[in-house]
Amino acid sequence: MLILAAFAPELAPFSEPYRQSARAVGIGLVTAAHATGALLASHPAFRSDHPHPSYPSPSSPPSAPSRLSPQSLSVLLVGSCGVYPARPAADPARSRPGIGSVIVAERVVLVDSASVLGHAAVPEPMGARAEVDRTASTRFVEQGCIPAVVGSTLGITTSDSLAHALAERGGADVENMEAYAVAEACAAAGVSCTVVLGVTNVVGSEGRAQWRQHHVEVAAKVAQIVERVLRLDLR
């Protein structure tokens, strides 16, 4: 398993055996997509004949076949997220994450603020939804994680009015900038992906100040839950 995060401090709370397979992929959609694709393409789990996002040049010699396959590899993205403001018409049966809670993605969607506000449109062939490993996600729910739809935006939402609009019409419960990129890179490579995030803030004007206040303790909580689930999987 590869444990990925946007930046190194989110991996720091993991104990040594887990840090050995942990990598930072950078902040934002484009950087995270590129780094995740490169990590997967270079991983020994890929056979020489398996298609993946990075192809060798025609002049490159073929690599030796591996006894592993992409199906033997999985990716776990950890990090932080902001929860969107409460929706008046929200389903009362769904738990709304609060600051300090840990969520596991039930799916990941691309959220474009301009499209939500009616100023732009995402072309249908482009797609705006990435699937996650439902079996793995269930194990995290059993350990207390809240299932949530993760929305990835190009930037951090700092406007309260935009945050409420995204809460109403963006199709997501929480906001994280890298989840969609990582999940899409995994899907392109045929690798399963799970997303586990700690809630550090409410999306909006106070979000960045709340993130600074809570991100260290939340990262530690995420690492604790992840290690507990992974230990249970080894039994």
pLDDT at 235: 59
CA 61 from centre of chain: 34
pLDDT at 200: 98
Q: Are the CB atoms for 134 and 91 separated by under 8 Å?
A: no
Q: The pTM is what?
A: 0.88
Rounded to 5 degrees, φ, ψ at 42 are -95, 0
pLDDT at 44: 85
Query: Per-domain residue ranges for the chain?
Result: 2-22+30-46+70-217+225-233
The arrangement of secondary structure in 2-22+30-46+70-217+225-233, i.e. its CATH architecture, is 3-Layer(aba) Sandwich (3.40)
pLDDT at 124: 79
pLDDT at 61 over 70: no
Question: pLDDT above 70 covers what percent of the chain?
Answer: 87
Please state, as a whole number, how many other Cβ atoms lie within 10 Å of the Cβ of residue 214: 18
pLDDT at 122: 85
pLDDT at 71 over 70: no
For 8-34, what is each residue's pLDDT tens digit?
999 999 999 999 999 999 999 999 999
CB-side neighbour CA atoms (13 Å) of 40 = 33
